[in-house]
A and B are shown apart, each in its own frame.
Chain A
C-alpha cells in the first residue's frame, strides 16, 4: 500500500491541463506553410512520394501528405512545417493548403449536421475500425485515452460494440479483405451516426493509393463528418478535431 502511494506521489499530475493550447515537444511536423519564394515547381511536385503537392499555385493536400518532410528539406525556402497540430476539418477541400491563402485548417460550421451537436456535444462514443491501418494510428487513438491526453474528460471514448457507438473511426486505406466487415460494423451502429477518417491512409489511401488490394467504395456511399490528417494522427489533432465537430456548429 505504502509503495503504491509512493508511486502515485512520484507520478504527480500527468495530464495535459488544456489540450487546446498544449505545445508539442520537439520538431513536430504539423500544418505546413507555403512561402512566397520562387522554385522549380515541377521538381517540387515530382519529389512528393504520394503526389500531395500541386503547382501554380503551390499547394499541399494534407489528405495525401505523409508528413515525411522531404519537400521542406529540399525546398526550405518554399515549404516549412509548423508545429500547429490543428489540421482536422469536415470539408475535404479545406485540407488543401495553398500558397497565398494561408490560414489555419478549421471545420466549416455550416457543414456540421444539426444532430451532431444535438446528440453528441456532451458525450460521444466511437467504434474504431482498422481497415489496413499500420497500427501507428491505432496506437495514437489509444493514446488519446491515456492519462496524458485523457480524452475521456470530454465524454469522448472508444467502445467495444458498434451497438453502443455514435460513430465510426476508420484507420487504414480500407483493404478489400476488410471492406465487408467495415460495412457490417457501420450498419450495426444506430442512427444518427458519424464517420471520422483518421490518418492519411484512410483519407486518400496514402502510399497505398491505387493498390489493387484496396476497396474504398465504402467512402462513396456515405458522407464523411471529419477528416483527421496525420501519419499517424497526433492525439492532439484528433481530440481537437472531434471537440470542434461536436461543439462548434453554426448558430442558426
Chain B
C-alpha cells in the first residue's frame, strides 16, 4: 500500500501525498473498500498545471485514520472506473466526469450530478436530464418536482410504477447549485468564508461551520482551547436534538398523526430558541468562529440549558411512548422503505442512514474531535433499515445527546473563548476535516498554494452518499409511502448541490 496516513483535521504538505500510476491508484483504493470498516470520505479532482489531480481519501474506522493517495490524469483520457469494482465510488466518479469531462469506460451510471455552472459540457442542460426509462405498456411514470407540495427545497423525482407500486426511482438534483466551492476561493476574508460555511445547509449550520472552523484552525496551526471545543460539541449535539425532534414531527405529519405532529413540532421550538438565547440566531448562525467565539458559554447559559432540557424530556418521553405504540403509526413505519445491510455497504451510506442498516459509521466514535474523545461515544445501531428504525434511531439519539449534554455541563471548562488572531494558512498543504453532523459525516477539504492562498475547497454533505439509499429504499413500496420514506432520511438538497 502506498498512501499517506493522516488523522482527522491534520494538515499535511501536498508533496507528501503519493502520486500513483492510475492503475495502481485504482487497484489500491478499490481493495481498501473490501472491508466494511473502510469507506471513501472524499474522492475528487482539481486542476494542476493542465492535468487533473485525483485525490482519494479513505477513512479507516477501526484505526481512526484516513488513507490519502492521488493520481495525475489528463482530461481527455478514458479511464477504467472504480465504480465497476465498488459502487460506493459511483457519485464521486460522476462528479469528476461532470466537472472535467473525464470519460470512464465501464461506469454503469455516468449521469449528471448537479449541473454546476462550470461543468465540462455546458450544453448538458438541467431541463434535459437523461432519465432511465422502461419501455412497457404495463408501467407508467410519475414525475414530481422540482417544486414540491410543501415548503421544502427543489429536486426532481421520477418514479417508474407498476400500478401503485414503485419499481424504480431516479432522483435528479442540482436545482440548488449556488457555486459554493468556487465562492470559497472568490471570497477572500475569513468572515466571508465562515458565513459561507454557515450557508451550505441552513439545517446543519453547526455541522458545517464546525467542520470549517476546525479545518481552518488546523491550516493556520491554531489549537482551539477547551472552551471552544466544548461549545462546538455542545452546538453539534443541540443541533442533532433539535432537527431530530422536528423530523419526528414531520414523520407524524406524513402518516397523518396530528397529535405527534403538533407536539414534536412545538417541542422543537424551545430547542432552537435556546440557540437564539445563546447566540442570537435560532439556527446557530454566528455561533461558530475559527479562532474564538463571540458567545462564550457560561454558568448562566448552562443553567438555562438544563432548565430547558428538564422541561423538554418528560414531554418528549410521553409523546414518544404514545407515538411508538400507536398501531396506526406503527403500521405505516414498520417494514416501510427498507435499506438492507448489503445495500448500505455497497453504496457507501454514512451517518444515520448507515446506522439503521447495521453499519457502524459515526465520526464521533471513529475519528473523534473536540470533546468526543471524552464522551467515548457509542453509536446506536439498528438493523432493520426501515422507516421505523430511522424514527427509533432519532428517538434514541435524542436521549443519548441529552445525556451527553448533561455530562458535558458537569465538566464545563472555564477558559475564555475570546477571539485570538490566527496565523497564516500553511502553503502547499492539504487539510481534511471530518465532523459528524446530525445527518452523518461532513467532510471539508482545503488545498493551498505557494503563498498559503486557497486554491481548492471541497465540501461533502452526507446527503451526497445517501440520496441513492432513498432511491433504493422506496423500491417495491407503494408510491403513497414515498413522503414518509423521504422524510425518514431528510436529506439535504442544497448540501448536495452546493
Contact = CB atoms under 8 A, between A and B. Distances in A.
Interface in A67-124: 67-70, 73, 81
Contacts of B259: 4, 7-8
Contact of A177 (B176, B196, B262): B176
A131 B383 CA distance: 37
Given A138-B153, A173-B178, A177-B174, A147 B294 contact: no
Contacts of A175: 175-178
Interface residues of B, number: 65
B257 to A, nearest CB: 11
A67 B321 CA distance: 40
A40 interface: no
A41 interface: no
Interface stretch (A53-61, A209-217, A244-252): A209-217
Interface string B147-167: 101111110000000000000
Interface string A130-161: 11111111111111001110000000001011
A66 B195 contact: yes
A203 to B, nearest CB: 14
Contact of B127 (A173, A180, A214): A180
A26 interface: yes
Contact of B151 (A8, A158, A213, A214): A158
B322 A4 contact: yes
Contacts of A6: 318
A201 B176 CA distance: 13
Contacts of A147: 262, 265-266
Contact of B294 (A69, A135, A148): A69
Interface string B265-281: 11001000110111111
A4 to B, nearest CB: 6
Nearest to B153: A130
B294 A49 contact: no
Given A3-B321, A146-B265, A181-B175, A135 B147 contact: no
Interface stretch (B59-67, B197-205, B213-221, B350-358): B197-205
B108 interface: no
Contacts of A214: 178-179
Contacts of A241: none
B23 interface: no
Contacts of B497: 177
Interface stretch (B69-77, B186-194, B228-236): B186-194
B149 A160 contact: yes
B115 A177 contact: yes
A224 B153 CA distance: 22
B116 interface: yes
Interface in B431-446: none
A140 B282 contact: yes
B117 interface: yes
A129 interface: yes
Contacts of A66: 195, 285
Given A26-B280, A178-B175, A129 B147 contact: yes
B178 A208 contact: yes
A69 B263 contact: no
A99 B283 CA distance: 29
A26 B273 contact: yes
A173 B186 CA distance: 17
Contacts of B149: 160-161
A212 B181 CA distance: 12
Nearest to B115: A177
A212 B176 contact: no
B494 A134 contact: yes
Contacts of B203: 134-136, 139
Interface of A: 3-4, 6-8, 10-11, 14, 24-29, 47, 49-50, 66-70, 73, 81, 128-143, 146-148, 158, 160-161, 172-173, 175-178, 180-181, 185, 201, 206-208, 210-214, 231-232, 234
Interface of B: 115-118, 126-127, 146-147, 149-154, 174-179, 182-183, 186-187, 189, 191-192, 194-196, 199-203, 205, 246, 259, 262-263, 265-266, 269, 273-274, 276-283, 285-286, 294, 315, 318-319, 321-322, 492-494, 497
Given A146-B262, A158-B151, A175-B178, 6 more contacts: A26-B273, A73-B294, A137-B202, A208-B178, A231-B281, A232-B283
16 contacts: A14-B266, A26-B276, A28-B281, A49-B189, A81-B280, A132-B175, A139-B203, A141-B151, A147-B266, A148-B269, A158-B150, A160-B149, A172-B178, A175-B178, A177-B174, A210-B186
